[in-house]
Structure 1
Amino acid sequence: MNINMQSRHMLFLQFGLILQAGYGLEQGLHLIAEQLDEQELKTLVCRLNEEREKQPTLADTFAACEVFDDFTIHMISIGEISGNLDEVMLSLADYYQRMDEMSNQLRQALSYPMILLLMMLCVVGVVAWKVLPLFQDVLRSLGSDLSTQAVMFMQFGRIFSMAVFGLLLLLTAGLIVFLLYAKRQKEDAATLFLFHSPFFKKLRHISLLAQLTYALAMLLRSGIDLREAMQYACSLLPNCEIIDKLQACVQGMNEGASFCDVIRKEQLYEGLALNLIEIGFTSGKGEAVMQQLSDEYQQEVSHKTEHYLNVIEPIIVLLLAVIIGVVLLSIMLPLVSILSSL
Structure 2
Amino acid sequence: MLSNNEKYIFTSELALAISNGLQVEDGLKMLVGFDADVSICAKKLEDIMKQGYSFTDALKESKEFDEYMIQMVVVGQSIGNLDVVFKELSTYYARQKELNYQIQDAITYPFVLILMMFVIVATLIFKVFPIFENILSQMSMSLSLMYSARILSYIGFFILLFILVFGLILYFIYKKSPNKVWMTKLPFFSKLNYQKEMTKFTYILSLFVSSGYALIDAVDIILLSIEHPVLKDKILHVKNRMLEGESLASALVKENVYDQGYGALLMAADQSGHQDEVLKTLSNRYKEDLERMLSSFLNRLEPSMIAGLSLLVGFVLISIMLPLMNVLQTLG
Contact 1:59/1:77 (8 A) holds in 2: yes
1:168 and 1:226 map into 2 onto residues whose CA distance is: 51
2:15 and 2:254 map into 1 onto residues whose CA distance is: 38
Cα pair distance change 1:244/1:200, threshold 3 Å: same
Give 1:37's aligned residue.
34
Q: Secondary structure at the match of 2:83?
A: helix
Deviates more, 1:261-270 or 1:95-104: 261-270
Contact 2:196/2:287 (8 A) holds in 1: yes
Q: Which amino acid aligns with 1:77?
A: V
1:288 and 1:72 map into 2 onto residues whose CA distance is: 23
Contact 1:15/1:28 (8 A) holds in 2: yes
1:184-333 to 2 correspondences below 5 Å: 184-185=176-177, 195=184, 197-333=186-322
Give 2:93's aligned residue.
96
Q: Which amino acid aligns with 1:306?
A: S
Shift of 1:51: 2.1
1:340 and 1:160 map into 2 onto residues whose CA distance is: 22
Q: Secondary structure at the match of 1:269?
A: coil
Shift of 1:186: 6.8
Q: Which amino acid aligns with 1:290?
A: L
Give 1:172's aligned residue.
164
TM-score if structure 2 supplies the norm length? 0.90
Q: Which amino acid aligns with 1:169?
A: L
Cα pair distance change 1:124/1:116, threshold 3 Å: same
Shift of 1:339: 4.4
Cα pair distance change 1:193/1:157, threshold 3 Å: farther
Shift of 1:88: 0.6
Shift of 1:94: 0.6
Contact 1:277/1:290 (8 A) holds in 2: yes
Contact 2:206/2:280 (8 A) holds in 1: yes
Give 2:24's aligned residue.
25
Q: Secondary structure at the match of 2:113?
A: helix
1:87 and 1:273 map into 2 onto residues whose CA distance is: 28
**1:83 aligned to which of 66, 80, 83:** 80
2:313 and 2:29 map into 1 onto residues whose CA distance is: 61
> Is residue 1 of structure 2 the alignment partner of residue 6 of structure 1?
no
Deviates more, 1:271-280 or 1:89-98: 271-280
**1:69 aligned to which of 43, 66, 71:** 66
Deviates more, 1:169-178 or 1:234-243: 169-178
Shift of 1:267: 0.9
Q: Secondary structure at the match of 2:22?
A: coil
Cα pair distance change 1:177/1:202, threshold 3 Å: closer
1:333 and 1:242 map into 2 onto residues whose CA distance is: 56
Q: Which amino acid aligns with 1:28?
A: G
Q: Secondary structure at the match of 1:236?
A: coil
Contact 1:79/1:222 (8 A) holds in 2: no
Q: Which amino acid aligns with 2:12?
A: L
TM-score if structure 1 supplies the norm length? 0.88
How many residues of Structure 1 are paired with residues of Structure 2 in the alignment?
331
Q: Which amino acid aligns with 2:156?
A: V
Deviates more, 1:302-311 or 1:327-336: 327-336
Q: Secondary structure at the match of 1:23?
A: coil
2:224 and 2:211 map into 1 onto residues whose CA distance is: 17
Contact 2:76/2:85 (8 A) holds in 1: yes
Can you give the 5+ residue segments of structure 2 that lack an aligned partner in the other structure?
Answer: none
Q: Secondary structure at the match of 1:46?
A: helix
Q: Secondary structure at the match of 1:295?
A: helix
Contact 2:197/2:228 (8 A) holds in 1: no
Q: Which amino acid aligns with 1:105?
A: Q
RMSD: 2.4
Shift of 1:255: 1.6
Q: Which amino acid aligns with 2:169?
A: V
Q: Secondary structure at the match of 2:7?
A: helix
2:150 and 2:43 map into 1 onto residues whose CA distance is: 61
Q: Which amino acid aligns with 1:12?
A: T
Can you give the 5+ residue segments of structure 1 that lack an aligned partner in the other structure?
Answer: none
Partner deviation per Cα, 1:144-170 (whole Å, 9 max, x = no partner): 668xxxx4x544431121122223223
> Is residue 57 of structure 2 the alignment partner of residue 60 of structure 1?
yes
Contact 1:248/1:266 (8 A) holds in 2: yes
1:340 and 1:171 map into 2 onto residues whose CA distance is: 38
1:324 and 1:30 map into 2 onto residues whose CA distance is: 57
